[in-house]
Amino acid sequence: MREIKKSAVFLLVIFLVLSYVVGAETVHRVSPGENLYIIAEKYNLTIDDLTQTNKMTNPERIVAGQVIIIPDYERSDIYRVKEGDSLYRIYQKLSIPVSVLKTENGIKNEDQLYTGQPLLIPLRYRYPRLYTVNTGDTLYKIAEKYGISVEEIIVLNKLKEETIIPGQILKIPSLSPPWETKYTRKYPETLFYKGIAGGNKIALTFDDGPDPYYTEQVLDILQEHNIPATFFVVGSQVAKYPEVTKRIVREGHLITSHSWSHANLRNLSSAELDYEIRETGNIIRKYTGENIHFLRPPWGFVSDNLLQTARDMGYKVVNWNVDSEDWNGTAADQILLNVIPNTDKNSILLFHSAGGRNQKLDSTISVLPELIRTLKNNGFTFVTIDELLNAN
């Protein structure tokens, strides 16, 4: 009897813990008969909270099975100043540095704060990316990689010291690669992180294929839902799996380059770069007859040499602004949380259709159908990269 009681207590604790976690950040799947009003009431939110978080263009139309992301308090886009608040107190509540609060809200004099004043909470703090610390990492290296300050990482993660250990999970307040501002200004006709088309168009993109396992499953799903995608393929993989490569093109998708060997292109010489890009283009042409004009560098790493070489070879370099982080063994619901709130018109969504050694993409395969249905129902149209960049 004592063991039964212990088990019951243990299960109750687990239930409470799980309830707390889900309550903090929830993926809600619409049941038959539900509408936004019912869902908003259930979570003590407004309809606007739901439509804005999920970027819905037609909120009056939701269907059973659709995914709706339920925002939590920390993910509200506005904080209302309360009586007695100071920027320091708000920083303690929200884990956002005072310097960021000042910059984002144009605050020059803290004494000008007033009760009820709306303060903008940056999107990158509401939806930070998750980073797993690797051997040799330091806070400085991670901050430099994502173009943010060490202070931002310390504050957001409530770290008491700068020591970090491999395997530790950190929240990183950066939604776009750190090179975006510097290089897109310098190479506006060559480097893209978002599209430039009109309407509510988005592009679903897949890296690292082809392979005979995951890529085939991705193609089956795309065929079932009748949507196009863009595949950034690795040349050496094309050489191994030409039939999968041919299927990509045969079924109406855009195929283009992710380099020959998945090398860090920003570290290569001009001659090495030329080889990585040219040989991938050659083998794609050999098996599909397609001439390619787009390149995605592995990991999104760019440099002046890479961008100049790509431009001279007639390529546009295409990265992304929405990262599913599916390569990291991310759970299906977390992929939905990474993608849906961050997808807007002209978004480029990063997924993978093949993985490295011991890398599993089962969550990608399981989540794609409901993600596609949800984004379609939210009013988005899937197109290939060439259409999103008006480069037909």
- Give the residue numbers annotated as catalytic, written as ranges: 207, 352
Give the C-alpha distances (Å, rounded to integers) separating 363 from 24, 58, 334. Answer: 22, 28, 10
- Distance between CA atoms of 214 and 360, rounded to whole angstroms? 9
Instruction: Find out whether 276 and 150 touch, Cβ atoms under 8 Å.
Output: no
Q: Is the dihedral of CA 32, 36, 41, 43 positive or negative?
A: positive
Q: Which of 338, 321, 342 is nearest to 330 (CA)?
A: 338
Q: Can you list the positions of beta strands (E) in the chain?
A: 26-29, 67-70, 78-80, 118-120, 129-132, 169-172, 191-192, 201-207, 230-233, 254-257, 294-295, 316-318, 322-323, 348-352, 381-383
Structure tokens given for 248: 């990509």
> Alpha-carbon torsion 235, 240, 246, 249, what sign?
negative
Provide, for the chain, the percentages of residues in helix, strand and coil under a 3-state DSSP scheme, each rounded to the nearest 5: 45, 15, 40
For residue 374, the one-letter residue type is T
Residues 356 and 352: their CA atoms lie apart, in Å, by 10
**Strand, helix or coil for residue 382:** strand
Q: In 3-state terms, what secondary structure has residue 268?
A: coil
Kindly report the three-state secondary structure assignment for every residue of 210-264.
Answer: CCCCHHHHHHHHHHHHCCCCEEEECHHHHHHCHHHHHHHHHCCCEEEECCCCCCC
* Alpha-carbon gap, residue 9 to 6, rounded angstroms: 5
